[in-house]
Amino acid sequence: MDIRQTKGRGRLYDNVLDTVGDTPCVKLNRIAPKHVDVYVKVEAFNPGGSVKDRLATNMIEAAEREGRLKPGQTVIEATSGNTGIGLAMVCAAKGYPLVITMAESFSVERRKLMRFLGAQVVLTPKEEKGLGMYNKARELAEANGWFFAQQFETSANADIHEHTTGQEILADFEGQRLDYWVTGYGTGGTVTGVARVLRDARPEVKIILTEPANAAIVSSGHAQERDENGSPAASHPAFEPHPIQGWTPDFIPLVLQETLDKGYYDELLPVVGADGMAWSRRLAAEEGIFTGVSGGSTVAIAMQVAQTAPEGSVILVMLPDTGERYLSTPLFDGIADTMTDEEVALSQSTPGYQIS
């Protein structure tokens, strides 16, 4: 009888941060069209459950190396959640106090996870959107002498994806076909960093970028208004609230601007939030892969690309996070927390151990 075996990783880790990265690329066997191979890069395997663990680790370590972050100094950041969770993990491991500013519209799970990891979470009015939480973080940093991590501007963002995510993709597909790489954007760090690598080492790979259909700020063609430091000076006029948490704030981040200026993507395709939720549910129910709305939305676009992709094409899709931080969102609408009628009938089909 063949039985699965494991041999360990062959090393011991000095701290949890050393486990960030080297996430697996997993083939979709049941929901992908038969004429192509679709793989997903499952960033939920990071210790904090998302791709933002990479960014969070490098923002802090780069600031330490450069002397911008002092021992014991409070770190502050504006985030929709995943970066904040990653930063809370990093700051807990390294001993820094952390304050997060976050719009009140983002899921309750995110707040609880950050607070569980020792961070303080300051909520900002949903009407002020992402720019409101960003400006609140800057205001608190200036008032208190705190270190403002600035995920939307820092070079540490794209750099870590150039040196980890992009290199992992090259290694995993070495000597093998790779035709398309599909990703969304939040800060833009993933697409910018990985695109630097793919454009140089695998120029045949078509980079497909996606954004919410009702917040298509890049495809609008409107330039972002910025201050002298490159920070957003106003909300982008094409932005509307959308259900894909973690994607597309109400401004074009400076980190993403490199991708726009250098033409790092081959096609930009919009996605409807409801489609992202539907594909997230299919990934869970039919592939056993648990991801959030952003991951489902990226898969939705990958499936659209697959329809016209040549026979034998290989598509790699980024899955940014785990689905567990969406339990209170519309992604889980219709998922019962008590027994359904069918489950009650199943329970009653044998005489014992029934709930009255």
> Which residues are designated catalytic?
52, 294
How many other CB atoms are found less than 10 A from the CB of residue 335?
8
**φ and ψ of 27, to 5 deg:** -75, 140
Contact 328, 192 (CB under 8 A): no
Mode of pairing for the β-strands spanning 120-124 and 75-78: unpaired
Task: Say if residues 146 and 99 touch (Cβ distance below 8 Å).
Answer: yes
Q: Is 41 helix (H, G, I), strand (E, B) or coil?
A: strand
β-pair type (180-183, 37-42): unpaired
CA 121 to chain centre: 20
DSSP state of 45: G
Among the listed residues 103, 78, 100, the one whose alpha carbon sits nearest the alpha carbon of residue 91: 100
If phi over 0 gives left and psi between -120 and 50 gives alpha, with beta otherwise, what is residue 295?
A: alpha
Q: What beta strand segments (E) does the chain contain?
A: 25-27, 37-42, 75-78, 98-103, 120-124, 147-148, 180-183, 206-212, 267-271, 314-319
The neighbour count for residue 125, using CB atoms within 10 Å, is: 12
